[in-house]
Structure 1
Amino acid sequence: MIKKYILFIALSTVGLFSYGQNADKAKALLDDVYNKVKSYDNIYIEFQSSLENTEANLKQETNGNVTLSGEKYVLNYLGAEQLYDGKKVYTIVPENEEVTIEDVNEEEDNVSPSKMLTFYKTGHNYKWDILQNVGGRKIQYVKLTPIDSNSEIKSVLLGIDTETKHIYKLIQTGNNGTKTTITVNSFKTNQPLSSTLFTFNEKKYEDKGYYITRN
């Protein structure tokens, strides 16, 4: 019986040590991604997004693109354009000829495009996951589990290109069974940008007859 306990403790110790190493490896890779992202003046990403929930018989796919510079961004997604100038968010919907202007609550703003590449820095446990070969690229996955037990997110898988240290894919699974997948099709850095790219021209939309609301 004593020998069994000793064997159990030994195996448990090896398992915990291995888990700790995997967590450290995962965090080190994520730190590399974070530092790489922060080194760029700006980033342009073209992506494909899919939303799937088998139980609800829901499946939706769409493409989009986003330009990021610091906290500022311009996002084109689902037929709308969203612009953040560092103070306010402007959502422009051409189909409805409508613009919505909102202040940003930094404490609640956890999912903005400017945080898409760095959200994992806090609030998660990390685990080293599978390695895939995608068209000759080595994609290492890291699994993130929210520390908050009340989180609506069950887990997030981040696929990272081991050579460029860029995020290739994000797979988020919700507690309700909904799976959201974002695949990066193009990742460009330090592009020449217009000086007015992150400036909202209200008069332009007033002249077009757009309805402008402020929240």
Structure 2
Amino acid sequence: MKKICIACLVLFATNFAIAQNSQKAKTLLDQVYTNVKSYKNIYVDFKIALHNSEAGINQETKGNVTIQGDKYLFNYLGAKQLFDGSKVYTVVPENEEVTIENKSEDENTVTPSKMLTFYKTGHTYDWDILQNVQGRKIQFVKVTPIETNTEIQSILIGIDVGTKNIYKIIETGKNSTKTTITVNSFKTDQPLSKTLFTFDESKYKNDGYYIIRN
């Protein structure tokens, strides 16, 4: 009977510790969200590394994104994607094409403006390792989807403890592909052109681009 009581106490203490760590991780993510929402706009210059040893994939590239509310301008792999609040414009200079689409109503579609809100539902949270990166304390939080049919196994979010801004995101897929996004530069409340999130269709037509409407 004594052994059973001790086992129950250990189990209760373990579950309590797990619950505390989960709440601590969720609280830190909420602090990051609140912090970012306080800015008028943000500009992020980043590096993306894609690695899958089984498939022989090892790629690295750079990009940047400017976000103001729901609007964003995303530059990646030589292409540009603009969301003006109602429509998404994807410009691919290599193909001389512009695709115009209505805002997606799919809740599972992740856009730059939703990158900080995806964790709020459908995930569990774990307090992970603390790293020292050039004098900065980076606390990692592990976010795991509850849904089993997702292609994502887990996401590690590295948060600068001092600034409460994201420094690194490591996504591990069930196909063993690891995608690492590292923030090179994070700027806030920058002076932006009034036309930054305005798409000028005539400009691309005059340059001979093919316009696709979906």
TM over 0.5: yes
Query: Can you give the 5+ residue segments of structure 2 that lack an aligned partner in the other structure?
Result: none
1:5, distance to aligned residue in structure 2 (A): 1.4
In structure 1, the residue matched to 2:145 is 146
The alignment covers a number of residue pairs equal to 214
In structure 2, the residue matched to 1:62 is 61
> Structure 1 segments of 4 or more deviating over 3 A?
none
3-state SS of paired residue (1:18): helix
Identity of aligned residues (%): 64
TM-score, normalised via structure 1 length: 0.97
TM-score, normalised via structure 2 length: 0.97
- Which amino acid letter does the alignment assign opposite residue 75 of structure 1? F
**Partner Cα distance (2:21, 2:5) in 1:** 24
**Partner Cα distance (1:34, 1:106) in 2:** 22
State how 1:99-178 maps to structure 2 within 5 Å.
99-108=98-107, 110-178=109-177
In structure 1, the residue matched to 2:8 is 9
**Partner Cα distance (1:11, 1:131) in 2:** 26
State how 1:42-81 maps to structure 2 within 5 Å.
42-81=41-80
3-state SS of paired residue (1:206): helix
3-state SS of paired residue (1:75): strand
In structure 1, the residue matched to 2:34 is 35
In structure 1, the residue matched to 2:202 is 203
1:46, distance to aligned residue in structure 2 (A): 0.2
Of residues 5-14 and 177-186 in structure 1, the stretch that sits farther from structure 2 once superposed is 5-14
1:108, distance to aligned residue in structure 2 (A): 4.2
Question: How much is the aligned-residue C-alpha RMSD, in angstroms?
Answer: 1.0
User: For 1:68-108, what per-residue CA distance to the aligned partner results, in whole angstroms no more than 9, with x for missing partners?
Assistant: 00010000001101000011111111111111111122224
User: For 1:2-29, what per-residue CA distance to the aligned partner results, in whole angstroms no more than 9, with x for missing partners?
Assistant: 2221221111111111111101110110
1:109, distance to aligned residue in structure 2 (A): 5.2
